[in-house]
Each structure stands twice: as C-alpha cells, then as structure tokens.
Amino acid sequence: MREIIGRLAETHSLTVEEYEALIEGRNDEYAGLLRKLAVRVRREIYGDAVYVRGLIEVSNICRNDCYYCGIRRSNANCERYRLTDDEIYACCDEGYGLGFRTFVLQGGEDSYFDDEILGGIVRGIKSRHPDCAVTLSMGERSYDSYEFLRECGADRYLLRHETADPEHYARLHPPAMSWDNRMKCLEELRSLGYQVGCGFMVGSPYQTVRNLAEDLKLVETFRPDMCGIGPFIPHKDTPFRDFPAGTVELTCYLLSIIRLIHPAVLLPATTALGTVDPVGRERGIMAGANVVMPNLSPVNVRKKYELYDNKICTGEESAQCRECLSERMRKIGYEVVVGRGDFAGNDTPHDRV
Ligand code: SAM
Ligand code: FES
C-alpha cells in the first residue's frame, strides 16, 4: 500500500484496481500518509489560501426527480420558491461587500430560468461586478444554451457526474435521466471554455468500492478544474430516506486521493461534510480541500433549499456565515482569501489562467 501511495503522489495515476485496493485497505496510518502528501502538494500550489465562493440558491423548483434529492419534483412537502432577478443581484451586492469575487448560482432545473432570463441575470451580475467570476450550477441544458450562457459571461459550471458507473447512475435517477447525457453535458461545457466541475456523493445508495474507484479514475482522465464531493445524507421525504449517510472519514480519505491525482484541482469542503460532522469542513481542508462555499442566499429561503436533512447554515445571515468560516479556517491555520480563485493548473490544454 505504501508503494501504491508513493506512486500515486509521483505519477498522479493508478489503475482502477489499485484505487479499489487503496479504498478497501484504508486505515488510520494510510489516511495520515495521504493527508500529509495531499497537504504538502496543495501548499506548493496554493499556500495556505482557502478560496471562498458565495453560494446563491436561486430556486428549489425542479423538473427532475433524482431519488436522493430533497427538492425533487415528487416531494410534495417541499415549499417551493424562486428568487427574483433583483433578489439575486442584492445577494451578489451584499456578497461583493463581504469580499466575494465568485458567485455560484445554484438551483433545481426550473424552466423559468430559460436562456433569456438566466443569460440576462449573468449579464447583470457581470456588468455590476466585472471583476467577479460567475459559476452556474443549474443542471443539464442543451449545447446551445451552454454556449449562449457562456457568451453572456458565465465563467464556470458545476455539474456533478454523480457516479462514473452508468448502472449505478440508473439506480439513483429515474429513467428519464441518463448517464450518457450527463457526460455529454460535461464534455460540451469543457469544449465551450468553461472551467468545469464534476463530482459525486460519498456513500450514495448502492455505491460500491468499485464505483468509487471508477469515480477516481474519471477524475484522473477528465481532469476537471473543480471537483465537488460530499457525503450522501438522506432526506426524510425521498425514496432514499432509510439509507445511511456517507462518512466524513471516507470523504476526507477520497479528498486526499483526489488532491494527489490532480494537484491543482479546486476542491470544496462541502456543506454536506459540515452537516455530518460539526468540524467536517475543517477536516476536509486538512485532508486536502481548498475551497469553502458560504451561503449568500436570503435567510428566509435557506431552509427551503433542503437537499438533505439537518442542512447547516440555514439560520445565519451572509455576513455571519462568511465570518464563521473565516474564523474556522483561521483556527486551523488557513486563511480565507479574497479573489476570483481561478484554477491554478498549467498542466492541461484547457487552462485559462
Ligand atoms: N440541479 C443542479 C444539478 O443537478 O446539478 C444543481 C442542484 S443539485 C441539488 C446539486 C447537488 O446536490 C447534486 O449534484 C447532488 O450531488 C447533491 N445532493 C442532492 N441531494 C443530496 C443528498 N441527499 N445528500 C448529499 N448531496 C446531495
Ligand atoms: Fe432537481 Fe435535485 S432533483 S435539484
């Protein structure tokens, strides 16, 4: 195992079988070693900087019915909302004042946000704050739509692949959704010059160690600019309500491995990680993550964007959320930095920094 870990740090590549062995055979000693190597390589590229992205949850209306997701179409107990353009701009203005230079617009696949509306909002944010990056996380759209939004000024797009195994994908989503289309979207986003983020849940129902090994191989071959991973957490009004949550331990172990696979990747310590463990985000950073995403959504909608049970940060004002995370990072020796926080890699042809 030590040989495999050493080779991973050296070559940034393993076979699927080796990734599998690394996950299967994990223990405290190997986790410690991976953490040490991951932190070292991240420090060489990013120092002790932790980047912030302001998350704005623009709508919880969704035409999809993902089995794991609390805002899925079939959840009749979900109280629906949609922010107006002005509310979104107000979130950005407040965020700008708090030092944010990246805004992430995330939401369900809400058909209200067609190209004209969403493109207009992207343009509006870019004209108010030309020095900021706009990231979209609005699900699967057509090539033309992604192209138009890019022309309107969107810089980055987050679309988790959810699982690298098409059969596993089919157990997490209704038949109307397909793994092939998800991968097609990711390829199209990249071809359009977006900085692209993929990712997956750790401990999602029916996930095997082999699946996770394939996820790692996908990160190795696709080389996303960002990679969002966090534990699956059940939501009481979904078909997966009785499945157990993923663990902080395995999530952190995988964060370290991903940092070694792709040293320059932007890797968030997610809200889900902070939900399964009060110091989960700190543990994520100490395992190799380098991004946090404080919530900038209006406080009155936060509880409604409930992807999973007991989601944290739903009661605080944006300024409190920002301050809380800065303080948490300071306590473990890291500094939250102001700035766009672009991908710092220069080892792949699609880098644009
Ligand atoms: N609609 C967009 C999309 O599908 O990409 C963005 C919103 S979607 C809610 C964002 C991510 O939340 C998903 O990619 C999924 O990985 C994560 N998520 C949803 N339900 C979750 C759960 N129960 N536990 C942990 N993460 C979850
Ligand atoms: Fe649409 Fe979760 S099912 S955002």
What atom of ligand 2 comes closest to residue 107's alpha carbon? Answer: 4
Give the DSSP letter of residue 80. Answer: P
Indicate if the pLDDT at residue 7 is higher than 90.
yes
pLDDT at 22: 98
Alpha-carbon distance 353 to 16, whole Å? 31
pLDDT at 343: 84
Mutate to test the pocket of ligand 2, among 58, 61, 64 (most ligand atoms within 8 A of CB): 64
CA distances from 263 to 43, 52, 190, 239, 346 (A): 10, 18, 19, 37, 11
Indicate if the pLDDT at residue 347 is higher than 90.
no
Indicate if the pLDDT at residue 349 is higher than 80.
no
Mutate to test the pocket of ligand 2, among 57, 60, 72, 78 (most ligand atoms within 8 A of CB): 72
What's the gap between Cα 274 and its chain centre?
13
pLDDT at 352: 28
Question: Tokens standing for 245?
Answer: 């949550």
Q: What is the pLDDT of residues 268-308, one digit of tens each?
A: 999 999 999 999 999 999 999 999 999 999 999 999 999 99
Q: How far is the CA of 288 from the centre of ligand 2 (A)?
A: 28
Q: Helix crossing, 280-287 with 28-46: angle to 10°?
A: 70
Instruction: Give the position of tokens 């870990």.
Output: 5
Question: How crowded is residue 44: how many other Cβ atoms within 10 Å of its Cβ?
Answer: 10
What atom of ligand 1 comes closest to residue 160's alpha carbon? Answer: 14
pLDDT at 353: 24
pLDDT at 342: 87
What's the gap between Cα 199 and its chain centre?
6
pLDDT at 338: 81
Amino acid at 103: F
Q: How far is the CA of 44 from the centre of ligand 1 (A)?
A: 31
Amino acid at 316: E
Q: How far is the CA of 43 from the centre of ligand 2 (A)?
A: 35
- Is residue 68 helix, strand or coil? coil
Overall domain count for the chain: 1
pTM: 0.96
Q: What is the pLDDT of residues 302-339, one digit of tens each?
A: 999 999 999 999 998 999 999 999 999 999 999 999 88
Mean pLDDT of 240-254: 98
Contact call for residues 291 and 341 (beta carbons, < 8 A): yes
Q: What is the pLDDT of residues 121-152, one digit of tens each?
A: 999 999 999 999 999 999 999 999 999 999 99
Mean pLDDT of 157-186: 98
What atom of ligand 2 comes closest to residue 71's alpha carbon? Answer: 2
Task: State if residue 107 touches ligand 2 by the CB under 6 angstroms criterion.
Answer: no
End-to-end CA distance of the chain: 36
| Residue 344's pLDDT band (cuts 50, 70, 90) | confident
Give the DSSP letter of residue 278. Answer: T
Mean pLDDT of 156-173: 98
Task: State if residue 108 touches ligand 2 by the CB under 6 angstroms criterion.
Answer: yes
Q: What is the pLDDT of residues 45-82, one digit of tens each?
A: 999 999 999 999 999 999 999 999 999 999 999 999 99
Indicate if the pLDDT at residue 90 is higher than 60.
yes
| Residues of the domain holding 296 | 2-352
Task: State if residue 13 touches ligand 2 by the CB under 6 angstroms criterion.
Answer: no
Task: State if residue 239 touches ligand 2 by the CB under 6 angstroms criterion.
Answer: no
pLDDT at 341: 84
pLDDT at 348: 37
What's the gap between Cα 244 and its chain centre?
21
Indicate if the pLDDT at residue 116 is higher than 50.
yes
As a 3-state breakdown, the chain gives helix, strand, coil percent values, each rounded to 5, of 45, 15, 40
Task: State if residue 66 touches ligand 2 by the CB under 6 angstroms criterion.
Answer: yes
The count of C-alpha atoms lying within 13 angstroms of the C-alpha of 55, restricted to the half-sphere facing its C-beta, is: 24
pLDDT at 262: 97
Task: State if residue 69 touches ligand 2 by the CB under 6 angstroms criterion.
Answer: yes
- DSSP for 299-348 reads HHHHTT--SSTT-SSSSS-HHHHHHHHHHHHHHTT-EEE-B-------SS
Task: State if residue 64 touches ligand 2 by the CB under 6 angstroms criterion.
Answer: yes
Q: How far is the CA of 22 from the centre of ligand 2 (A)?
A: 32
Looking up residue 336, the CATH number of its domain turns out to be 3.20.20.70
Mean pLDDT of 159-171: 98
Q: What is the mean pLDDT of the chain?
A: 95
